[in-house]
Amino acid sequence: MATLTAVKFPTAVGADEALQILERLQREEAIRIHDGAVVSWVDGAKKPKTRQLNHLAGSGALGGGFWGLLFGLIFFVPILGLLVGAAMGAASASLADVGIDDDFIKEVREKVTPGTSALFALTSDGVPDKVAEAFRGVDGELLHTNLSSEQEAQLREVFSDAHAV
């Protein structure tokens, strides 16, 4: 089973730096990346830049339509208002199948702001100790994961260690 994880970073380049760690872990066979996307929001920009990580996983397990819908719901629906609200509401129901609900969308919308970035990754076969060690000290905030409670607690601890330094 694949795990969907979203991590927010306090800089516009933080997600790209974390992606480099994730790519290294994949080369070392410590994790398998099925799909993902990066959101980067430079200070002063009206909206964030998004890109799918299809270079890592061929055609992408979730596809561009999934990421487009997700990022549309998070970043663009407030701008469009009621014109597309009903249609997007129906479409967002399908995201619940992969563990994405209104609370997740609201949290990402509130936390990924100008000057920050986020990495969304669909992964499997992670070696928990190697992944935790690789990300120890990385300044990020876990927004969402569908890992087990124990694995989620370990990941939250890894990212909270960065603030203790």
Between these two residues, 154 and 58, which has the higher pLDDT value? 154
pLDDT of residue 84: 46
- Number of neighbouring beta carbons within 10 Å of residue 158: 20
Domains contained in the chain, number: 1
Chain segment 61-96, per-residue pLDDT in tens: 556 566 676 777 677 654 444 444 444 454 555 555
Q: How far apart are CA 123 and CA 119, in angstroms?
A: 12
Task: Please tell me whether residue 156 adopts helix, strand or coil conformation.
Answer: helix
| Mean pLDDT, rounded, for 107-120 | 92
Say if CB 119 and CB 100 are below 8 A apart: no
- Number of neighbouring beta carbons within 10 Å of residue 63: 13
Residue 11 has pLDDT above 60, yes or no: yes
Residue 90: give the domain boundaries.
Answer: 3-164
Q: What percent of the chain has pLDDT over 70?
A: 69
pLDDT of residue 15: 96
Rg of the chain on CA atoms, in Å:
15
